[in-house]
Amino acid sequence: MTRTGFLGDLLGQLVERRFMPFRASGDKPMARLCAELLSGEGEVSSMRLAREILARYRGLDADGRRDFFRMLAEEFDIDPAAVTEAAAAYAEARDAVALDRVVHTAEPRRQELLRRLNHAPGATGELVRMRADLLRLIPEDPALARADLDFAHLFASWFNRGFLVLRQITWESPARLLEKIIDYEAVHEIGDWDALRARIDPPDRRCFAFFHPAMPDEPLIFVQVALVKGLPGSVQALLAADRPVLDPGTADTATFYSISNCQAGLRGISFGNSLIKQVVELLRMELPHLRSFVTLSPIPGLAGWLAERAEAGDPAADGLSRKTAATDVGFTDAEALALRQLAAHYLLDVKRADGKPRDPVARFHLDNGAQVHEVHARADLSPRGLRQSCGAMVNYLYDPGAVEQNHEDYAARGSVAATRGVRGLAKAAADAAAAAARAQKETVEHGKPAA
């Protein structure tokens, strides 16, 4: 396998459309410019209007951007009466003409506006950044979510897996790209250039990213991989500055230890599933002796759940929760076992109202067909690792022969694939919780602890 994606680079050069700086001019209201863009037919005039609107948008302050999105939500929405009329006509005629009318009237005008804005050079990246602004505003103005439906709908098509290019990031990659890997790392912070080099340059390390031809210099998502012997149980060991560098020919396991989404404006557009599966295939081609493909993943919801358990009177959870505030943590063996048991119970048994696991990282990997393979205490003792999961981490196993069935079982029945060992840990935690509940009930009913 080459370290550069020749085909990807060639494709990027063929279709690349870099942003062309454009200074806004004139004082027409944005609503009028948008209406003119929708009504225009000429390609040149449409491109000029698109560039003008994007330039005007970049110059808006926070209030101006909020007003812009309100305009999209209100003035470029569907006409409910027209949709109702078209649907009624289709119910009678059931022909292509009537169906086309339904489709046309049911699509908000802002959706076509976004398509036409995308005609401008470099507009795709501008629209991704525009959606990032919109997502930040929705919590305080939920009505704007109507406009986001159209961004999400279009991005799901524009960033379809068939358009994405997988490239390996190496120390020889352009400096501007390496800077973005440092900036976008969302799981384990990269402190400086030396730390970055230690992640991507040694022969037992890999980094891969997805790119889109319209944004050739912007990674969409990237994954960092460590080639190791055996099952990794500590991110400190994986990232230690003085760790011995392993000959890739002697590795038996590829560990995906950090997956970072790079573009806030593409939130909800899933690339991770395709990224992991394609990297697995590339590594199997390069290193056919690899036997296992696992993650070493955080458990970001664990500390919050333990705090809830502590408030409810669980002494084990209370003791572990106190560890999150410490800066120099030493887990006893008993505490480490308790943490592993509670973490396994949380991953396998604690669900949301829709029946899916409460933990977001678990939902991602289980939906991709992974198995909960092992749970580790003392795995991430960084301040962030302690704060989000008391230092616990989990291995998800990607078995190429089982991922499809695991995914189908999870999607259809919510079944969580897990090893017998992890199930044993979860059962121990559940049994301890049940015993504590019985003891508490006995105390309430009889005024004394249960025997």
3-state per-residue secondary structure call for 243-289: CCCCCHHHCCEEEEEEEEECCHHHCCCCCHHHHHHHHHHHHHHHCCC
pLDDT of amino acid 8: 46
CATH tag, 28-158: 1.20.140.90
Query: Exposed (0-12), middle (13-18) or buried (19+): which is 413, by Cβ within 10 Å?
Result: exposed
For domain 298-442, the CATH architecture is 3-Layer(aba) Sandwich (3.40)
Give the distance from CA 423 to its chain's centroid: 27
Question: Can 28-158 and 298-442 be said to share one CATH topology?
Answer: no
pLDDT of amino acid 272: 75
| Domains in the chain: boundaries | 28-158, 162-295, 298-442
Tally of CB atoms within 10 A around 205: 20
229 token code pair:
């012997």
Distance, CA of 391 to CA of 365 (rounded, Å): 20
Q: What are the CA-CA distances from residue 182 to residues 197, 205, 250, 450 (Å)?
A: 10, 16, 29, 55
Residue 361 has pLDDT above 80, yes or no: yes
The pLDDT-based confidence of 161 (bands split at 50, 70, 90) is: confident
Residue 14 has pLDDT above 70, yes or no: no
Residue 448 has pLDDT above 90, yes or no: no
What angle, 0 to 180 degrees and rounded to 10, lies between the N-to-C axes of helices 62-75 and 123-137? 90
| Backbone φ/ψ region at 135: left (φ over 0), alpha (ψ -120 to 50), beta | alpha
pLDDT of amino acid 27: 78
Q: Of all helices (H) and strands (E), which one includes residue 210?
A: strand 205-211
pLDDT of amino acid 216: 92
The mean per-residue pLDDT over the stretch 6-16 comes to: 44
DSSP string, 369-434: T-EEEEEESSS--SHHHHHHHTT-EEEEE--TTTHHHHHHHHHHH----B-HHHHHHHHHHHHHHH
Name which of 4-13, 59-68, 422-431, 440-449 the model is least confident about: 4-13
Residue 12 has pLDDT above 50, yes or no: no
Grouping H, G, I as helix, E, B as strand and the rest as coil, residue 139 is: helix
Q: What are the CA-CA distances from residue 413 to residues 332, 417, 429 (Å)?
A: 38, 11, 23
| Percent of the residues in the chain that have a pLDDT greater than 70, as a whole number | 90
Question: What is the overall mean pLDDT for the chain?
Answer: 90
364 token code pair:
């991602």
- Comparison of pLDDT for 10 and 90, the residue scoring more: 90
Per-residue pLDDT reduced to its tens digit, 17-75:
454 556 666 678 999 999 999 997 766 688 999 999 999 999 999 999 999 999 999 99
The pLDDT-based confidence of 329 (bands split at 50, 70, 90) is: low
Strand partners, 221: 210, 261
Distance, CA of 249 to CA of 279 (rounded, Å): 18
pLDDT of amino acid 17: 46
pLDDT of amino acid 211: 96
- Residue 353 DSSP label: T
Residue 370 has pLDDT above 70, yes or no: yes
The mean per-residue pLDDT over the stretch 119-140 comes to: 96
For domain 162-295, the CATH architecture is 3-Layer(aba) Sandwich (3.40)
Distance, CA of 125 to CA of 19 (rounded, Å): 8
Distance, CA of 102 to CA of 80 (rounded, Å): 11
pLDDT of amino acid 5: 46
Residue 254 has pLDDT above 80, yes or no: yes
